[in-house]
Amino acid sequence: MVEFGRPTGPWYPLWWIYTRGWLPLAGRLIGSGWHEVGRFLGPSIETFADRNPPIRLAAIWRSAGLVDVRFRRMSMGGGLVMWGRVE
């Protein structure tokens, strides 16, 4: 699984500015509904990350029968890669 994540520490304020400012602005420049996508993305990522931290996602995967479930935060926490296997 490849999922967006929310950085922590000193990267969080920069990420917040990027997702709340730059993405909506870039969307407006591109046009045709992309502003709404840019405006939606930051809060959506944050809500998902709050409700589903990697530890919880891994537990859900294990309860679904996957084994060797692992995850790795990428891009200073802005991305999450998770993998496992079916036995």
Q: What local confidence, expressed as pLDDT, does residue 32 receive?
A: 77
CA dist., res. 18 & res. 54, Å (int): 22
The overall pTM is greater than 0.85 = no
Q: What is the pLDDT of residue 35?
A: 86
Q: Which residue has the tokens 């967006």?
A: 4
Q: Where are the domains of the chain?
A: 2-86
Over residues 6-34, the pLDDT tens digits come to 998 999 999 999 999 998 999 889 887 88
Dist CA 76 CA 74 (whole Å): 6
Digit-coded pLDDT (tens) for 45-78: 999 999 999 999 999 999 999 999 999 999 999 9
More confident residue, 46 or 35: 46
